[in-house]
Chains A and B, each alone.
Chain A
């Protein structure tokens, strides 16, 4: 039987569509309103609330916690001071990415790490003699993401210190009587916060946030709107843009951090910090063996419109993300990569995709051809390689 999150009573009454899906064993709203695009605009122009409780959450504590994580996570946790947060990954010995997640450093020896899939046995097997404890707290904590240009006003109305919290920082706070942890993080690429609350207090926190958002256009948003926002933000999704190397059948289904465009996490590769995958990644860089480079694509609107108009069709502009592979070709019709997440972006007014291309083609401004089907035939439409994120409002980090 599926589970429900601690916010479920509210989620259920707010979901006007009767459409649900399952996420990590939980019942979650695909969308609350008939128009998922309306929820999406709450994220981009007002404030939206997303129940992200189903993410796996691990509390990692102990004297050796920092040391442990600095060996397990590819991004150097020592640089993440108490009160800060990191987007991070962990890799296998061959330098392939296992998973990604956000780690909050709540205190010197206290961390909270999220992941899309369970990772407890993987982490625990690595503890050895270290003084570290890892506890899965997925069920104990409810997580509510409050995202959008008005999110600061809403959150700060409840917890005034949020007025000044910086991007990827985290503080303990209170909402009403409930003790909460609030981080300036999210999966939308917008100004936003995530509220971490004991399950028992979840409903009161939901209610207070919704009340504070009254008049600010606050709306709960579902999975579809989240996926739209995350593609624009260039945020990767496990099993859409990459697969866990632990469960991949062959290397074709594995990716290195460099291939995923996450090389920026590894600026200290030359320092003497051992972590799993370091040697392989250094080799990859030295020998330039990366097979791909993750990029953004922006489809040539004129090409796209003409292709459909010539086919006697109205060019579709569907914002619902398509999580399928779309092949990419060069001008000689040679395969040069594939797109993994494709959609029409309402704020960019273009079709966009997250894709991987051969490294030599990854330069922004390069042109590739994206394969789509029109009138039941394969057609190619031009697309420009761009840097991720595709949409990056200043307020996100301001």
Chain B
């Protein structure tokens, strides 16, 4: 365990996930003496890269970037520290019958590829992209600003509410209506309005279920679809990139940036309590008994840990405690990561391998996804899961030895609560299920496997600390977003404890490697300090 250099800091950030790092970097940049305290032996939380087999680098949990706010890249000068998002030149969606959808960087070729599946879907695809980009452009400012507090009578908040209402009124009716349809409806309804190809719909609908206990036909999946499209890579909405060295490469960049601004990071130092005196935070206590003092303590953990574990819930208003207790986590995602002896073979494409240079989406139809969901509803995991495969080693040679590959497979659905078993018993069965599914699409896949790592929802909870393995630190459901994330009235990064703040993915805007919670929380902290006001 590394030691803090001081006994008192201006600010202590609990948790060195990417949001904790972003938050700490901004606070340090503003001149606060800042300590970031991480429980594990490495920073990054759900965004780490590990060498699990010599020469093979695994993105254990998250594996691609898109939501990251561009202003953070600039303000934290990340390119100086090695920030490098690598283009995914293709995106591949195998079908059940040997057919496939292979999209690339040439717009007109993509249109032709879509029209191979359905002539009608060709220009519908352009229309869809355009419509959803318009909604993204309209909604984007919401990601980059502290949301107003709906329940406050503070004049500043009333002005913010009025401004928000005005922003919405200024939108073209079609854009606003599409936004509402996405924010409240199902992805299936939205997509059905455009497309007839099942393969295309399955491919697009896959973004509507990631990390969330919904099927594409559930109301609410539209929100998840929108969320996964509102990110951008080099100015293109909905475009994803691999960070050099995986998402762990990215969090290492963040750590270097934070340190360059003067933040200190200590590892292997679990925080047990946020200390308070008379309703004011005074510092943190570590598991080994060390106490470190600070004026500001920021929790980068999920809301349940922030409110129910690090502090004594009895110090909090009971309606807040109640809201946090019923905040939905219910993780449904898992990972199975492989070291491979070569690239999988998709028979229709013969010996080609260039189709694997981005995501490979095993979700060949809306029905497939919905059926995969059915099993999760009843407390189990999908017998034919949705799989988002990513073989970063096809474009980033640092990930695996020459000729070998690492394949990250994001799996859904795997219900955190199993009906009549437990994850320690089911771990390898889940791995086998995934492998069997992959064998179905890529005959001989299993023969390529050199190493397999199965990450169950329970592992996500145990290793990263994300409650119930929810990858976003709390479900993306309308009643848990914006005004209500993580609880009504507590959506502005403050807590009822003076000097105690929250900045994890359980705060607005939410999960994904986006950094916005960390940044926006730092703004709030700095604003409160400037006002010299108490946090409430």
> Do the two chains bind?
yes
Residues on A close to B: CB < 8 A? 33-35, 37-38, 41, 44-46, 150, 214-217, 301-302, 305, 309, 314-319, 344, 346-350
CA distance A45 to B396 in the complex (A): 7
Q: Which of A35, A37, A350 has the most CB of B within 10 A?
A: A35
Tell me which residues across on chain A come within 8 A of B104, comparing CB atoms. 34-35
- Given contacts A34-B109, A215-B397, A215-B403, whether A314 and B87 have CB atoms under 8 Å apart is no
Does A38 contact B395, Cβ atoms closer than 8 Å? yes
CA distance A344 to B79 in the complex (A): 14
Tell me which residues across on chain A come within 8 A of B217, comparing CB atoms. none
Taking the closest CB of chain A, its distance from the CB of B27, in whole angstroms, is: 21
Tell me which residues across on chain A come within 8 A of B244, comparing CB atoms. 45
CA distance A37 to B239 in the complex (A): 14
- Closest-by-CB residue of A relative to B398 is A45
* Inter-chain pairs besides A215-B402, A347-B79, 17 sampled, C-beta below 8 Å: A35-B89, A35-B105, A38-B357, A41-B86, A41-B395, A45-B244, A45-B396, A217-B395, A217-B396, A301-B71, A301-B74, A302-B74, A305-B70, A317-B234, A346-B234, A349-B74, A350-B74
- Closest-by-CB residue of A relative to B404 is A215
Tell me which residues across on chain B come within 8 A of A350, comparing CB atoms. 74
Taking the closest CB of chain A, its distance from the CB of B231, in whole angstroms, is: 13
- Given contacts A35-B105, A37-B105, A317-B234, whether A346 and B87 have CB atoms under 8 Å apart is yes
Q: Say yes or no: is B309 at the interface (Cβ < 8 Å to chain A).
A: no
Tell me which residues across on chain A come within 8 A of B404, comparing CB atoms. 215
- Closest-by-CB residue of A relative to B245 is A45
Q: What 1/0 flags go to B334-370 for Cβ under 8 Å of A?
A: 0000000000000000000000010000000000000
Taking the closest CB of chain A, its distance from the CB of B246, in whole angstroms, is: 13
Q: Say yes or no: is B308 at the interface (Cβ < 8 Å to chain A).
A: no
Q: Say yes or no: is B84 at the interface (Cβ < 8 Å to chain A).
A: yes
CA distance A41 to B397 in the complex (A): 11
CA distance A263 to B90 in the complex (A): 45
CA distance A216 to B401 in the complex (A): 8
Contact residues of B between 69 and 115, Cβ < 8 Å to A: 70-71, 73-74, 78-79, 83-87, 89, 104-106, 109
- 9 A-B pairs with least C-beta separation: A215-B402, A317-B235, A35-B105, A217-B397, A38-B89, A35-B89, A34-B106, A215-B403, A317-B234
Tell me which residues across on chain A come within 8 A of B429, comparing CB atoms. none
Tell me which residues across on chain A come within 8 A of B105, comparing CB atoms. 34-35, 37-38
Does B235 contact A315, Cβ atoms closer than 8 Å? yes
Tell me which residues across on chain A come within 8 A of B490, comparing CB atoms. none
- Given contacts A35-B89, A38-B87, A45-B84, whether A344 and B234 have CB atoms under 8 Å apart is yes
- Closest-by-CB residue of B relative to A17 is B106
CA distance A316 to B137 in the complex (A): 13
Residues on B close to A: CB < 8 A? 70-71, 73-74, 78-79, 83-87, 89, 104-106, 109, 133, 137, 234-237, 244, 357, 395-398, 401-404
Does B79 contact A348, Cβ atoms closer than 8 Å? yes
Tell me which residues across on chain B come within 8 A of A344, comparing CB atoms. 234-235
CA distance A35 to B398 in the complex (A): 21
Does B137 contact A314, Cβ atoms closer than 8 Å? yes
Tell me which residues across on chain A come within 8 A of B89, comparing CB atoms. 33-35, 37-38
Tell me which residues across on chain A come within 8 A of B106, comparing CB atoms. 34-35
- Given contacts A37-B105, A38-B89, whether A319 and B234 have CB atoms under 8 Å apart is yes
Does A349 contact B83, Cβ atoms closer than 8 Å? yes
- Closest-by-CB residue of B relative to A217 is B397
CA distance A316 to B234 in the complex (A): 8
Q: Which of A217, A309, A316, A348 has the most CB of B within 10 A?
A: A217
| Cross-chain pair count, CB within 8 angstroms | 79
Does A301 contact B87, Cβ atoms closer than 8 Å? no
CA distance A380 to B260 in the complex (A): 33
- Closest-by-CB residue of A relative to B402 is A215
Tell me which residues across on chain B come within 8 A of A315, comparing CB atoms. 235
Q: Which of B85, B106, B234, B403 has the most CB of A within 10 A?
A: B234
Taking the closest CB of chain A, its distance from the CB of B38, in whole angstroms, is: 27
Does B396 contact A44, Cβ atoms closer than 8 Å? no
Tell me which residues across on chain A come within 8 A of B133, comparing CB atoms. 314
Does A215 contact B401, Cβ atoms closer than 8 Å? yes
- Closest-by-CB residue of B relative to A319 is B234
Tell me which residues across on chain A come within 8 A of B79, comparing CB atoms. 347-349
CA distance A215 to B400 in the complex (A): 9
Query: 25 pairs across A/B with beta carbons < 8 Å?
Result: A34-B89, A34-B105, A35-B89, A37-B87, A37-B105, A38-B87, A38-B105, A41-B87, A45-B396, A45-B398, A46-B395, A215-B397, A215-B403, A216-B397, A217-B395, A217-B397, A302-B74, A314-B133, A314-B237, A317-B235, A319-B234, A349-B73, A349-B78, A349-B234, A350-B74
CA distance A350 to B235 in the complex (A): 11
CA distance A44 to B397 in the complex (A): 12
Does B70 contact A349, Cβ atoms closer than 8 Å? yes
CA distance A35 to B89 in the complex (A): 6
Does B397 contact A35, Cβ atoms closer than 8 Å? no
CA distance A44 to B83 in the complex (A): 12
Tell me which residues across on chain A come within 8 A of B403, comparing CB atoms. 214-215
Taking the closest CB of chain A, its distance from the CB of B522, in whole angstroms, is: 17
Tell me which residues across on chain B come within 8 A of A38, comparing CB atoms. 87, 89, 105, 357, 395
CA distance A344 to B237 in the complex (A): 16
Does A216 contact B402, Cβ atoms closer than 8 Å? yes
CA distance A346 to B89 in the complex (A): 14
Taking the closest CB of chain B, its distance from the CB of A94, in whole angstroms, is: 41
CA distance A217 to B86 in the complex (A): 13
Tell me which residues across on chain A come within 8 A of B234, comparing CB atoms. 317, 319, 344, 346, 349
Q: Which of A37, A349, A350 has the most CB of B within 10 A?
A: A349
- Closest-by-CB residue of A relative to B141 is A309
- Given contacts A37-B105, A215-B403, whether A316 and B235 have CB atoms under 8 Å apart is yes
Tell me which residues across on chain B come within 8 A of A35, comparing CB atoms. 87, 89, 104-106
- Closest-by-CB residue of B relative to A315 is B235
Taking the closest CB of chain A, its distance from the CB of B70, in whole angstroms, is: 7
Tell me which residues across on chain B come within 8 A of A316, comparing CB atoms. 235
Taking the closest CB of chain A, its distance from the CB of B429, in whole angstroms, is: 34
- Closest-by-CB residue of A relative to B397 is A217
Does A46 contact B397, Cβ atoms closer than 8 Å? yes
Tell me which residues across on chain A come within 8 A of B235, comparing CB atoms. 314-318, 344
Does A347 contact B84, Cβ atoms closer than 8 Å? yes
Taking the closest CB of chain A, its distance from the CB of B6, in whole angstroms, is: 32
Tell me which residues across on chain A come within 8 A of B71, comparing CB atoms. 301-302
- Closest-by-CB residue of B relative to A318 is B235
Tell me which residues across on chain B come within 8 A of A319, comparing CB atoms. 234
CA distance A35 to B241 in the complex (A): 14
Q: Which of A33, A41, A301, A344 has the most CB of B within 10 A?
A: A41
Taking the closest CB of chain A, its distance from the CB of B69, in whole angstroms, is: 11
CA distance A367 to B519 in the complex (A): 27
Does A150 contact B74, Cβ atoms closer than 8 Å? no
Tell me which residues across on chain A come within 8 A of B395, comparing CB atoms. 38, 41, 46, 217
CA distance A35 to B403 in the complex (A): 23
CA distance A33 to B78 in the complex (A): 29
